[in-house]
Amino acid sequence: MSETSFFQQVCQNFDRAAALTSHHPRLLEQIKVCNSVYRMAFPVEKDDGTIEVVHAWRAEHSQHKLPTKGGIRYSLGVSEDEVMALAALMTYKCAIVNVPFGGAKGGVRIDRNLFSSRELEKITRRYTYELFRKGFLGPAIDVPAPDYGTGPREMAWIADTYLALAPHDLNALGCVTGKPVGQGGVRGRKEATGRGVAFGIREACSVAGEMRALGLSPGLAGKRFVVQGLGNVGYYAAKFLGEAGALLVGVAEIEGAIANPDGLDLEAVVRHRRATGSLAGAPGATPLARSADALELDCDILVPAALENQITAENAPRIRARIVAEGANGPCTAEASSILAARGAMVLPDMYLNAGGVTVSYFEWLKNLEHVSFGRMERRFESGTNRRLLATLERLTGQQLPEEEKAAFEGPDEEDLVNSGLEETMANAFHEIREIRARLGAGVDLRTAAFVSAIDKIATTYGAFGIFP
């Protein structure tokens, strides 16, 4: 484990990039600091009548754009330093993918497995109330989302509590994203971070020059990958990488790890783990001695998608993957990143690679403010126009297209539009970062280039308000 705190590590990465820009030092300091942190403690009555004191935080790292945005984490590892670091990453992430939000993050220090659903609901509603009464929640102020240990259910509780507290807020549903589709969510949000991870990796693999430098052939098909963490991000990243032709050769979870160089069946592994509570004994898989051994498996792509500080100065020299794709936030320490770079590996940085979640959260927030779902107004119209065009083509050519081929010309539905917006965002951001890296010259990695991209955009925002010359 690194001696440097998580927030200090983010700041170190920031400083390295800031030195490559020409912004005023005070402006750089303002961009780097964490603007506000609300630390709270509240009591929760458990089902057996005992009282537990819960500690929780919300950090708003930067309000240069509003609302601020960032997930809520339920984990025993939550601390003030961690939420500040994750909030800072959110600021830079939003800037990198051109999502008009400041950065925030929340955390509740609990082991969610030790609480019943009823107790979790009480904790979530009380946390929401605390955020609301201190002005840390609202569609124009600060908009949470799911993160480690939380999901659509918790987001629905937050929305419902906010609605009760602010009944006259017409845009109330925009107070949180990652909600179930029936409660104001958007189709594709649940899968968005993992899908974005897969899009980002695919984009990197599509650049022949980048792959040549790593000793790999271009394209995702046939590339062998390992995933750490089969949660929301890891599962969907593995699913979409598999669908794009990559081969899953290892999986690590909290209780252990499995491998098969000829490929694992993701759905069979998930079914087995759900039924038995463990990866051990999954069909066609060899168990590894320790969970962390999976990180060191022979593969082309390693996707750490669990938690921070998983690849450190200790194990980085043994990582064999040529591409380390940071699905989680902060999985590689700053020292580990330097070791991986020195060994010629490519690190696809978290601030870029896992930005799919906040990108689709932005779409959900827009949907909530618009009070209409994407595609509702134009889908039928576009389908009709396309059908008429096809009919004209058939008449002119004398050829008939089969009905199933014609179906492809239906107008896009909400999920098509969300996924297309996500794909466009991930592809554009990757090439933007690559161009900045090329401009900055040899020795600059993608993470530093991503930071420079973010710093330049945030600096412009402050300039626009005349706060800094």
Interface pick for ligand NAD out of 94, 120, 233, 346 (rule CB under 6 A):
233
Interface pick for ligand NAD out of 107, 138, 174, 357 (rule CB under 6 A):
357
Closer residue to ligand NAD (CB): 234 or 375:
234
Q: Does 146 bind ligand NAD (CB under 6 A)?
A: yes
Stretch in the footprint of ligand NAD (CB under 6 A) among 144-152, 153-161, 282-290, 454-462 = 144-152
**What mask of x and - would describe binding to ligand NAD in positions 262 to 301, judged by CB under 6 A?**
-----------------------------x----------
Residues 190-209 that bind ligand NAD (CB under 6 A): 193
Q: What does the alpha-carbon distance between residue 136 and residue 114 come to, in Å, rounded to a whole number?
A: 27
CB of 400 to ligand NAD, least distance (A): 45
Residues 63-102 that bind ligand NAD (CB under 6 A): 71
Q: What does the alpha-carbon distance between residue 405 and residue 439 come to, in Å, rounded to a whole number?
A: 45
Q: What does the alpha-carbon distance between residue 101 and residue 360 come to, in Å, rounded to a whole number?
A: 13
Q: Does 147 bind ligand NAD (CB under 6 A)?
A: yes
**Range 157-166, long-range pairs (CB < 8 A, 24+ positions):** 157/121, 157/124, 157/125, 157/128, 158/72, 158/124, 158/128, 159/183, 159/184, 160/125, 161/124, 161/125, 161/128, 161/129, 161/132, 162/128, 162/132, 162/137, 162/138, 165/128, 165/129, 165/132, 166/132, 166/138
Stretch in the footprint of ligand NAD (CB under 6 A) among 142-150, 379-387, 397-405, 441-449 = 142-150
Closer residue to ligand NAD (CB): 210 or 231:
231
Residues 242-261 that bind ligand NAD (CB under 6 A): 252-254
32, 69, 93, 105: which is the annotated catalytic residue?
105
> Closest residue to ligand NAD, Cβ-based?
231
Any bridge partners for residue 68, and if so which? 102, 142
Closer residue to ligand NAD (CB): 233 or 334:
233
Please give the order of strands across the beta sheet that includes 224-228.
286-287, 256-259, 247-253, 224-228, 301-304, 323-325, 346-348
Q: What does the alpha-carbon distance between residue 247 and residue 110 come to, in Å, rounded to a whole number?
A: 35
Task: Write out the two tokens for 440.
Answer: 């900055």
Pairing verdict, β 247-253 and 68-74: unpaired
Work out the end-to-end distance of the chain between its first and last CA atoms, rounded to an integer number of angstroms.
Answer: 41
Interface pick for ligand NAD out of 18, 99, 158, 230 (rule CB under 6 A):
230
CB of 208 to ligand NAD, least distance (A): 29
Q: How many CB atoms lie within 10 A of CB 382?
A: 15
Cis peptide before 43 (omega within 30 of 0): no
Residue 42 near residue 31, CB atoms below 8 Å: no
Q: How many residues bind ligand NAD (CB under 6 A)?
A: 25
Residue 230 near residue 238, CB atoms below 8 Å: yes
User: Is 105 in the active site?
Assistant: yes
Q: Does 104 bind ligand NAD (CB under 6 A)?
A: no
Closer residue to ligand NAD (CB): 147 or 300:
147
Closer residue to ligand NAD (CB): 72 or 216:
72
Closer residue to ligand NAD (CB): 27 or 324:
324
List active site positions. 105
The contact set with ligand NAD (CB under 6 A) reads 71, 146-149, 193, 228-234, 252-254, 291, 305-307, 327-329, 354, 357
